[in-house]
Amino acid sequence: MIIIFLGPPGAGKGTQAVLLAEKYGLKHIATGDIFRWHMQNNTDLGKKIKKYLDRGELVPDDITIKIVEQEIQKYKNTKGILLDGFPRTLTQAKMLDEILKNMNLKINLVLYLRVSKEEAARRLLARGRHDDKLETIARRFEEYEEKTRPIREYYYERGILVEVNGEQTIENVHKDIVDILKEKKLI
Ligand code: AMP
């Protein structure tokens, strides 16, 4: 089973993916976490991508897709995979389709966490991660609007996208997500 978490920075994708993964024993693949790990450990990849993360820009598709393919390969025989922060461009979405097709897998559900820009910015500033500075946040929103938003349409047209009100408490968003998964008979 493959579930994608979609939504702007600050929507709660990571928080919700972790909760769901823990509850049902699913694998959580977060490209942002993987990139930050490489930066902290100063790997070759970490050195290559640092400038993008520091600026709030997207890491090039070829680098990102390679990482995700390796991760999916690793977990393809498990109960389920949650993708958090990937895909973020239409190219990534199309490449993901290819990768999954070759592994005989498919996307079962795309959860779109809807939050206003104001609420998302408030959360990011409260979180205070290295790239949660006003300037970087603004850039990440721009990147989202420009490059990630079109993916919503892509999945919506396929009938696999479900919208969740991401402005509720963490517990209520989680409950909504669990209800959707039950309704879709995915858990
Ligand atoms: P996140 O933890 O999802 O907010 O991601 C943090 C940063 O990692 C982003 O601002 C991008 O620089 C980079 N990143 C994460 N996921 C992707 C992706 N799918 N494509 C390109 N860049 C990404």
Nearest CA to ligand 1 atom 11: 58
What's the pLDDT score for residue 171? 98
Is the residue at 128 inside a domain?
Answer: yes
The beta-strand segments (E) located in the chain are 2-6, 27-30, 81-84, 107-114, 161-165
Q: Which amino acid appears at position 116 of this protein?
A: S
Q: What phi-psi label fits residue 7: left (phi over 0), alpha (psi between -120 and 50 degrees) or beta?
A: left
Q: Is residue 166 part of a domain?
A: yes
* Active-site position among 66, 127, 149, 175: 127
Distance from residue 108's CA to the centre of ligand 1 (Å): 22
Residue 116: band (very low, low, confident or very high) from pLDDT cuts 50, 70, 90: very high
Q: How far does the centroid of ligand 1 lie from the alpha carbon of residue 135, in Å? A: 16
Q: How many domains does the chain have?
A: 1
Q: What is the pLDDT of residue 68?
A: 98
In a domain, 6, yes or no: yes
- Percent of the chain clearing pLDDT 70 (strictly above): 100
**Is 186 inside a domain boundary?**
no
Cα-Cα-Cα-Cα torsion 98, 101, 106, 110, nearest 10 degrees, comes to 0
Query: 144 CB less than 6 Å from ligand 1?
Result: no
Whether 187 is covered by a domain: the verdict is no
* Within-domain flag for 56: yes
Strands (E), 32-103: 81-84
Flag whether 60 is in a domain. yes
Task: Supply the pLDDT for residue 2.
Answer: 98
Query: What pLDDT sits at residue 86?
Result: 98
Mean pLDDT across the chain: 97
- Residue 177: domain span: 2-181
At 143, the pLDDT band (50, 70, 90 cuts) reads very high
Report the nearest-CA residue for atom 1 of ligand 1.
32
The mean per-residue pLDDT over the stretch 137-163 comes to 97
- The pTM assigned to this predicted structure is 0.98
Domain assignment present for 8 = yes
- Coil, strand, or helix at residue 172? helix
Dump pLDDT digits (tens) for 1-56.
999 999 999 999 999 999 999 999 999 999 999 999 999 999 999 999 999 999 99
Q: What is the mean pLDDT of residues 164-185?
A: 98
* Pocket of ligand 1 contains residue 13 by CB under 6 Å: no
